Amino acid sequence: MYNKIKPSRQVIKKIGMFMLIGTVLLSGCNKELDIDSTHLVNESNNWKSLADARSALLGSYGLLRAALADNNAHWLYGDLRMGDFKATSRLDLKAVTENNLNAPYPVVKSLSNWRKFYAVINSCTVFIDRAGEILKNDKQYTEENYKIDVAQMRALRAFTYFYMARIWGDIPLITASTDGNFIERPKVASEIVLQFATSELLAAVNALPYRYGALQNGLNQQSYYGKVAPYWDGILLNRISAYAILAHIAAWQGKYLDAVAYAKFVMTNFGLSGAIYTTTPNLTKVDGLFYGNNASQLVGFPFNYNTAEMSAVGHIEDLALAAPIISKAVPQIKMPDDVIAGIFNEANDLRFRFDPLTGLPVSDYFSGYGTSNTVFSKIKCIRNASTDGTLAIYSSALVFTRMEEITLLYAESLAAIGSMDEATDALDIVRNSRGIGLYKGTNAGLIDAIFAERRRELMGEGWRWYDLVRYNKLKNSDPKFTDLIKKGGIYWPIDEEVLSTNAKITQNEYWR
């Protein structure tokens, strides 16, 4: 589904052990973790036909998906850093959990390098600059198709800049194509980067359909690149995706009035994209929300088994699963039992609860609770690739946001501007769906309740660290975390390789 890109050395090392599986499965693994290319769409003969447009478009999505999956980056950035998960044996993972981001481990060093994200920026920008050539050369490539494609690339580039600004803060802002050559640029303030991302999304959003391959108000052809809905659901950024990203950018900036407006658009119109709220069983079953691609993945990056895009690495399962679900003896990360019990502290929670009669845990979120090997099993889209079950291949999507997540962001934003009744109503949408009923606390405790619900609902989806940052900015009640924010310690250091090749930037002050 996505274009193939030359694999990095780290990826080759990771997948080398799986050579004996066979070339079919191996090619599927490679598709997901190939990241090291700055020449994806810039060759002169790549801008002639409709097929070139499709290849370049999907290649840009593939670059970002690979960047997020490489070394399980999305989860190390979002779930492990000062979060609820703990490393079982790997010292590099332990360093991340303890915010020791200068630790001399290859994985930590890789996560400090933003080059793979700028490859996405460049790929999107080249498409924006050159797709017009296809419009002139191929009559099959219509004006409508061109406008939709360029809007997607503007939205994908904006999302990438937002993702990077959350990690590094101030970063270089590149808006012109470099044809694969990374020009030395100074850092600009993260607020300027986020303003650019917001303006790009707002400029693109009306050209994006609610659903690809579905005729809606004349905005989209009945098919898109020869495919109809639901083929493209969860793969491409649509109008709902763009508004969801806008809401997140605004909330990260503390512009909660804007976040309310953007999130409300999603809350009002999500059905036009085919998205639905997810039941608890569908959240945790093997072929549920996280399997393949579907419309409820408002912003997602699928590893679709049906198109041979599964892989053995680059998934939360690679980090969290172990026996008895797969043959691995011990997971790489786990959540202590006392932490789990403290998080799921309300009766009747369908995600994790204790049976009042037996006192035994009831949960699809975790397996083996109360033993020496509690396993986080909420996400488990598994295919065994070897006859003895010793090698698991995963096809779970990397889901950035879904309806429950954006509903809780909406609740957070409403509470931040003082609209407590509306915020409570939004919170209760998720609480009721998970069996714990209406919020009965006070307005003073509402923000705490919203973030506690995000902690439960979004576990393992890359949100915990960013939620901690926003929570502490709102509450300002933890002196140590507040000091971390003030000193820029919430951002990652910049890898020495980046610093050595760009004399116009300096290390983030906290990490000097």
d(CA 411, CA 353): 24
Confirm if 282 and 269 have CB atoms less than 8 A apart.
Answer: no
What single letter denotes the amino acid at residue 90? R
* 3-state percent helix, strand, coil for the chain, nearest multiple of 5: 50, 5, 40
Q: Are 425 and 349 in contact (CB under 8 A)?
A: no
d(CA 302, CA 61): 10
Number of CB atoms found within 10 A of residue 306's CB: 11
* Separation between Cα atoms, residue 129 and residue 148, nearest integer Å: 14
Tell me which H or E stretch contains 435.
none
Amino acid letter for position 159? F
Provide the H-helix boundaries in 140-255.
143-168, 190-204, 239-253
**174 phi and psi angles, rounded to 5 deg:** -115, 120
pLDDT in tens, the chain (512 residues): 554 333 344 433 333 333 223 333 333 333 333 334 444 444 556 899 999 999 999 999 999 999 999 999 999 999 999 999 999 999 999 999 999 999 999 999 999 999 999 999 999 999 999 999 999 999 999 999 999 999 999 999 999 999 999 999 999 999 988 655 667 899 999 999 999 999 999 999 999 999 999 877 555 567 999 999 999 999 999 999 999 999 999 999 999 999 999 999 999 999 999 999 999 999 999 999 999 999 999 999 999 988 888 899 999 999 999 999 999 999 999 999 999 999 999 999 999 999 999 999 999 999 999 998 999 999 999 987 766 657 889 999 999 999 999 999 999 999 999 999 999 999 999 999 999 999 999 999 999 999 999 999 999 999 999 999 999 999 999 999 999 999 999 999 999 999 999 999 999 999 99
At 190-227, the pLDDT tens digits run: 999 999 999 999 999 999 999 999 877 555 567 999 99
Give the Cα separation of 128 and 148 in Å (integer). Answer: 11
- Return d(Cα 278, Cα 284) in angstroms, integer: 10
For the chain, domain boundaries: 280-400
10 Å CB burial of residue 9 (0-12, 13-18, 19+) is exposed
Convert the pLDDT of each residue in 340-365 to its tens digit. Answer: 999 999 999 999 999 999 999 999 99
**Cα gap 443→415, rounded to integer Å:** 9
Show Cβ contacts of residue 222 under 8 Å, excluding neighbours closer than 6 positions: 213, 214, 215, 228
β-pairing, 86-87 vs 299-301, is: unpaired
Please answer whether residues 465 and 81 qualify as being in contact, where contact means their C-beta atoms are separated by less than 8 angstroms. Answer: yes
Helices of type H across 436-508: 446-457, 464-475, 479-486, 496-501
Which residue is listed with tokens 């202590």?
336
d(CA 107, CA 273): 37
Per the listing, tokens 């493209």 go with 232
Q: CA dihedral in degrees (122, 31, 303, 308; nearest 10)?
A: 150
Stated pTM of the model = 0.92
Looking at 270-369, list the stretches that DSSP marks H as alpha helix, in order from N- to C-terminal side: 280-284, 316-320, 337-343
- Show the tokens assigned to 453: 């619900």
The answer to whether the peptide bond before residue 209 is cis (omega within 30 degrees of 0) is no
- d(CA 385, CA 277) in angstroms, rounded, equals 32
The pLDDT value recorded for residue 16 is 35
How many other CB atoms are there within 10 angstroms of residue 362's CB atom? 14
As beta bridge partners, residue 382 has 394
Given its phi and psi angles, is residue 216 left (phi above 0), alpha (psi -120 to 50 degrees) or beta?
Answer: beta
